[in-house]
Every structure is written in C-alpha cells, then in structure tokens.
Amino acid sequence: MQTHTPTTPFGRRTMSLGMMASQAIAKAVPEGTQVQKWKVFHSIREARELLGATDRSLSILNALLSFHPETELSGGGELIVWPSNEQLMARANGMPATTLRRHLAVLVDCGLIIRRDSPNGKRFARKGRGGQVEQAYGFDLSPIVARAEEFCELAETIRAEKNAFRVARERLTLLRRDVVKLIEAAISENVPGNWGKIHETYQSIMSRLPRSAPRQLIDDVCSDLHGLYSEIREVLESFGETQNPGANESHFGCHIQNSKPDSNFESKYCSGNKEEAGGTATEPDNVRSMPKRELPLGIVLDACPNLGELAQGGGIRHWRDFLAAAELARPMLAISPSAWREACEVMGEQHAAIALAAIYQRTDQISSAGGYLRSLTDKAREGKFSTWPMVMALLRAKLDAQKSSDKVPVRPLDDGDGNGGGGTGLMVSESLLKTLRNPRFR
C-alpha cells in the first residue's frame, strides 16, 4: 500500500519556506543515526534563546518527547507521535488549549518539530495486522535527530558566553573595589595628586554602566577601569619609593651639603654623571627609582612660589599660566633662546618650565642659569634627570626652614640621608597638608 507523507499543514495554517527548510534537513538525516532524546532536549533548553523557543514551548516539547516510547531516537525509525490536545495539556501541567496551540506553532517555527497533519487534521496512526504503524499523523520529531549536533554546539556557545559574563562581572567588582580603596588610601596617606579629579573620572566611567548591562559593555568599562587602576597604582608605588629610599642609597641622597653659592646645586635634583660640575664624586645610577608620573601643578607651585610673582592676571591657575610665567622668567635669568628651545625639545615644554621655575627659586645659588639648564638638558637626554626629585628637594628645604617656626608635629615623608630612616628627610607639616587639601587639587 502506497502512502504519502504530508508536507503542508491542515486548515488555514500557511506554509513557509522555513518549514520547507526544516523538512529538508529532517529528510537528509542519515539512517542509523541515534541520539539520546533527553540529552538533546537538555541542549535545546540551554540554547533556547538562540533558537527562539520559550520556556512554555519547551514544556510542550518535553511532553511530546515523553510520548515516544524509546529513549533513543534513530534516523531510520518512526519518529511521529500523535497525542491529542487533552493528553498534551495534561502532561504540560494543565496548560490551556489556546496557549498550547500558540506554543506548538512556536516549536514549528523554530524547526524543532514538523506537522504531519491528516486529511481532516486529526492525529492518529494506522496500524497493520501485525500491529506495526503503517501511517501516522501528528508531530514529527526528526529535527531533534537531524540537528542534534547543532543544538549541542549552540548550548556550548551559550555556556561559554555565560562563563565569560560571570568572569567579566567578577573582574568589574574587583576593579571597582581596588580603585575606590586605592583612592581612599592615597587621600589618607596625603599622597600628592588631584584625587578629586581622579574620583570624578571613576564616577564618570561607572555612570556608563546600567543596571542590566551586556557583557561587551562590561568589558569596555573594565578596560577603562583597569587603565585608571594602573595609573593610580603607579602613582602610589612611585610615592612609596620616595618614602623608602633604603633600597637605593642615592635616591634623594645627593642634596646640597654646603652653602657655597657655586657648589653642585645640580646634584641636589638629579642623578649625577661620573663628572660633576666642580667635583669628581661618582654617583650611583638611580634612574630606575625616579617616578615616571606627572607632577601636580599645586605641588610645583608650593615648591616654587617665586614664579607666581611673575604671573599675569592674578595668579597661576593652569599649566598654560605656568608656562607663560616661565617665558617671562627666562630672560630675567639670562637664559638664551637656544638653550630654552633645546630644553623644551628634550624634556618637554612642561618639564622644562618646572626646571626653570626651580632655577628661578634658587637663583641666588646658581652663578650661570643658562649653563645649568644646558647641563640638566644633557642629563635629561641621557635619561638621568627627573623634575620630581628637584621639586621634592625644594619642598624639603622649605619645610626644614618652617620647622622652627611652625612648632607642629611633622610626619616623615621621605628620608634624605640615603640610609632608609633617621636622617633629615622630607617632612609633611600642617602647612603642606593644608596645601594638599587646597581646592585646586580637587
């Protein structure tokens, strides 16, 4: 007896090219292919978002699979089940009939089942004399066998994405904790820096993160937070090195030891070459211990207040005001345009201006400001000069002069004797703490 496998649905239900594609895939499944139906169902459940299925539709699919007597589904076997709506509703925990029909259509659209409707739309099976099924009308489970590998790959993709999302959330939590606590530590330890602005940057980064964010956005926020974290950590590590110079005896250990106006003022601010101007002392290389971060403008102004007298417009508020004041101080120090231009090219305009401000602050101790600037430029070209120790030395001298008049407890910020403690190091007085709390640092 010849039979025909129906392709189109019964009644007013329309046919689509997607249904045709699902039937073509099901027809192409090799004979002898066997899959564990509950294992495949587990993969479908994990990949339901990519497939477009819903939790209610998967409840119906679970019920349909339960009507197949075998645990394994094979490509050459009978894969059509024909339960009535009442039976399906019972196994779907009492789902209403309208909801059942709607989610059956979802399973068909997702390509998880195929309708094999009878001429009158009823579901039944015609059996032969031996009891074997000759023709069945109902729901074909062939796509479960044909697409088993695809469902497994989709489930693995979902698992990998969930794991990546979990790792991204953990990384975000750790970075947020580290950034906030490092900023608090920097403020409590009076580390110089514009910590108010850094905290505003942190808040600006976090404001981009909604309550429910996709993984890509979380990764972008984590990338920005990691950059901010790296900057803060570099500042704190550099400041820690200035507080603990015992690991390198030359760090801040070469400040002025006499009051001769023409003595090696240069050795107070930078690591020396083998030939110092006016001496033959050999300096250990401390280039590695020099901080690599930018100096805050407020700290520079506190160390070099004399340059503020040349500022136009009522004071120095920005780096551009500082650079303009340095341009006015250059001819007063008799520094030639060529020496200044060379210093700007080697050090950068900002660091050259800081060096000039330091020279202007101690102009009474330098016989030739132009020659001294050229010497600093040569050292900077060799990577053996930093404006950080120069400014710190000026702050040390300023605070040492104030100690006798302030009469306030001081806290060691950095040792200057090169022995890791007990020397006449840089001290933080109440006056400097007030300076660091000034609104221009926030």
> What's the pLDDT tens digit per position in 22-34?
767 777 777 778 8
pLDDT beyond 50 at 151: yes
Question: Largest Cα–Cα distance in the chain?
Answer: 123
**pLDDT surpassing 50 at residue 179:** yes
Give tens-digit pLDDT for 312-330: 766 788 888 889 888 888 8
Sequence-distant (6+) residues with CB within 8 A of 217 are: 208, 209, 210
Mean pLDDT of 3-30: 69
pLDDT value of position 287 = 40
The pLDDT score that the predictor gives to residue 229 is 92
- Characterise 167 by phi-psi region: left (phi > 0), alpha (psi -120 to 50), beta (else): alpha
Burial (CB count within 10 angstroms: exposed 0-12, middle 13-18, buried 19+), residue 401:
exposed
Per the prediction, the chain carries an average pLDDT of 77
Checking if the pLDDT of 175 tops 60, the result is: yes
Residue 210 has pLDDT above 50, yes or no: yes
Residue from 94, 316, 268 nearest 327 by CA: 316
Residue 393 in this model has a pLDDT that exceeds 80: yes
